[in-house]
Structure 1
Amino acid sequence: MTPLNKKLFRDLWHIKGQAAAISIVIALGVMMVVMMTGLVETLEQTRDTYYERYRLADIFAPAVRAPNLLIKQIGDVDGVQAAEGRVTGSALIDLDGVDLPLRAIAISLPDYETPRLNNIYLSDGRLINARQPEEIILLNSFAKARGLKPGDTLTTTMNGGRRDFKIVGLAQSPEYLYTTAPGEFVPDDGRFAVIWMSQSALSAIYDMKGAFNEALVSLNRGANEAEVLDAIDRLLDNYGGQGAYGLEDQFSNRFVTEEISGLKASAVGVPPVFLAVAAFLLNIVITRLVQAEREQIGLLKAF
């Protein structure tokens, strides 16, 4: 080992506390870059995989009442990969110990087949039997928040009528990763529910036999979403179309996307703060070392 290297290690030993502090700050900065970047990529991949596996629609098109035959016309629009109609309706839920009814949305599932779009993941219980109109599947997050389970009875008000349903299953859906009641902005699992029922049962309640009030659409790769939205709006215009919108404007997806965007901003903004502090501390230490070793530096430069 050369004399200069010996001197280097001796000087580092004298400032070991400062050197350790600077090393820790630099390590934290690098660690945060790696962790937060990896977290963002993992969340994006998980979200996209979940959406793809359960076929989350690219376009949502609500209407007042449209005939089922219109779904074929929507499916024939250039750029549309698949289209499906469903029935949705608002509902109120009465629970023991809760003063005010809780709001909910009821959504139809095909009677004897798997939904082509917006499928659900059954986390507990079983699927509904279309021959039993009183059977429902409840959103898992709401059920857990309210202590409900398969086999329980749920009292609701739908289309002005009071009805009792039997919970046969709990499910999750990519469409409702975050749930919030209309007019509210903060998600609350215990204040808003999603109820899935058979198409025939829900159609009978809301007088939608042979009709739908929301179309779900998936797009081909490279399709022009704006043109498809315009075409769907024209088709639904005579049936009380309320304006089709893309996945980026769907509440749950937008909330998830904004959460990930916030993490991205943190990944870009926070680690440089640690690295800047480390650079500042390093500059102070080096400046002090140079000042303290001025005579030795001058002597070495003289040779």
Structure 2
Amino acid sequence: MLDHKLGRDLWRVKGQGLAIVLVIALGVMMLVMMDGLVNSLEETRRTYYERYRLAQIFAPLKRAPRQLLDVLAAMPEIAALEGRINGGALISLPGQAVPVRAQAVSLPEFREPALNAVYLAAGRQLDATRPDEILLLQGFADAHGLRPGDELSATMHGSRRRFTIVGLAQAPEFLYTTAPGELVPDDARFAVMWMNERALEAAFDLDGAFNEVLVAPARGASEQALIDRLDQLLAAYGGTGAYGLEDQLSNRFIVEEIEGLQVSSRTVPPVFLAVAAFLLYIVTSRMVQAERDQIGLLKSFGRTGLEVGLHYFKFTLIIAVGGALLGCGLGMLAGRSLSGFYQEFYKFPFLLFRVDPAAFVTGFTVSVLSASAGACWYCDGCLRWRRRKPCGRRRHRISATP
């Protein structure tokens, strides 16, 4: 009998119930979506960094001979290192009066780099016998419609050169690319070029030398102590100060984005769930007030206070469960949609949206508990009927004839 009444009650307040379901669904959706994005970004970042051996320490300098790398490699605190050339360039494009700023990075000629490898998205790798070949950052190439086989002109160290694009590449150190002095990324305004080491040595007059050291610390080594040691060794070669991965620009942006999502996942969903709990409190209290005579009649026919209380608890439980299930589904859809946006914004070559099953359990449990708390907050004295012993709160008193 009470279940039949429950169905009629739900139909009678279907508009209010649907609104509360949507509020709960939005809260659970935000929780599931943000949890999935945090897990996906962290896992993808970690995998990308490990697969392409991103350095943990960057040490720029003015000029140092290649023999210094042997000295650094002998240090027990260093597990792997790579010396490379890194410099600025200006790219001239047809139809543009202002050159585009670019960063030129060297690659070893006959081997894979020990650190900071590149992901080849299209085309082929560089040919060591051809100094005029380059790999171009894929985002910049897509923004200007450049493809492997095209040519472009670039000015480096006061000399203008013409290069052939043989491949489009991405790299973990360039997840977030901005032109110097800017914070907002613009693929059309900044480029990265990878060139053969000897070709870049000749372009920057660094024959037999390098101007940046990439370091991976050994297991158990203190990163800060190693940075201080590198600063001492490289000071004589114009070292400008080594820094860790946490201070690398691209990594800094992605880490702060993940931390922002974590903060939002802890603050935004509770707001929606608190609003849903308040709405359920209002709906349940009004329903109980309107059905005082029915509650008294049910008591007179032998229904216990627990049975009547469970009847109203089922009402809130159905709304909460419906909102939680809807929110889990919407969270998956929204997370998958946003993962594609992050992949384009942060230049991940791959990004799989993955939600921890604990997020579904947490979202479902929290939504049900918050909705139940909102309904049960209403004085349980309203569900009691005893002759001459009404609830202590005046607005909750029940007057019913047995």
TM range (shorter): over 0.9
Most deviating of 63-72 and 104-113: 63-72
Match of 2:327 in 1: none
- Kindly provide the CA deviation profile for residues 93-143 of structure 1, in whole angstroms up to 9, marking residues without a partner as x: 111111111111111100111111000011111111121111111111111
Secondary structure of the residue aligned to 2:81 is: strand
Match of 2:27 in 1: 29
Query: Aligned equivalents of 2:10 and 2:103: distance in 1?
Result: 67
Query: Aligned equivalents of 2:94 and 2:176: distance in 1?
Result: 24
Query: Aligned equivalents of 1:222 and 1:41: distance in 2?
Result: 26
Match of 2:106 in 1: 108
Aligned residues: 301
Most deviating of 200-209 and 10-19: 10-19
Gaps of 5+ in 1: none
Q: For residue 208 of structure 1, what is the amino acid of its counterpart? A: L
Q: For residue 188 of structure 1, what is the amino acid of its counterpart? A: D
Per the TM alignment, residue 4 of structure 1 is displaced from its structure 2 partner at its CA by: 3.3
Q: Which of 130, 133, 145 is the matching residue for 2:131?
A: 133
Query: Aligned equivalents of 2:64 and 2:51: distance in 1?
Result: 28
The reply on whether 1:274 has 2:272 as its aligned counterpart is yes
Query: Aligned equivalents of 1:210 and 1:15: distance in 2?
Result: 80
Q: How does 1:88-107 map to 2 (within 5 A)?
A: 88-107=86-105
Secondary structure of the residue aligned to 2:195 is: strand
Bigger Cα Rg: 2
Q: Which of 79, 82, 85 is the matching residue for 1:81?
A: 79
Match of 1:261 in 2: 259
Query: Aligned equivalents of 1:203 and 1:290: distance in 2?
Result: 83
Secondary structure of the residue aligned to 1:85 is: strand
Q: Which of 35, 41, 44 is the matching residue for 1:43?
A: 41
Q: For residue 79 of structure 1, what is the amino acid of its counterpart? A: E
Q: How does 1:149-168 map to 2 (within 5 A)?
A: 149-168=147-166
Query: Aligned equivalents of 2:14 and 2:237: distance in 1?
Result: 76
Identity of aligned residues (%): 61
Gaps of 5+ in 2: 300-384, 387-401
Per the TM alignment, residue 75 of structure 1 is displaced from its structure 2 partner at its CA by: 2.6
Question: Does the aligned pair in 1 maintain the 2:83–2:211 contact within 8 Å?
Answer: yes
Secondary structure of the residue aligned to 1:180 is: coil
Query: Aligned equivalents of 1:193 and 1:114: distance in 2?
Result: 22
Secondary structure of the residue aligned to 2:252 is: helix
Cα 1:283/1:222, change in 2 over 3 Å: farther
- Kindly provide the CA deviation profile for residues 5-27 of structure 1, in whole angstroms up to 9, marking residues without a partner as x: 33333323321222222123212
Match of 1:144 in 2: 142
Query: Aligned equivalents of 2:219 and 2:194: distance in 1?
Result: 30
Match of 1:194 in 2: 192
Q: Which of 54, 60, 73 is the matching residue for 1:56?
A: 54
Match of 1:234 in 2: 232
Secondary structure of the residue aligned to 1:63 is: strand
Q: For residue 47 of structure 2, what is the amino acid of its counterpart? A: T
Per the TM alignment, residue 287 of structure 1 is displaced from its structure 2 partner at its CA by: 1.2
Query: Aligned equivalents of 1:180 and 1:118: distance in 2?
Result: 19
Cα 1:235/1:286, change in 2 over 3 Å: same
- Kindly provide the CA deviation profile for residues 202-254 of structure 1, in whole angstroms up to 9, marking residues without a partner as x: 11111212211000011234331111100111110100000001111111111
Match of 1:121 in 2: 119
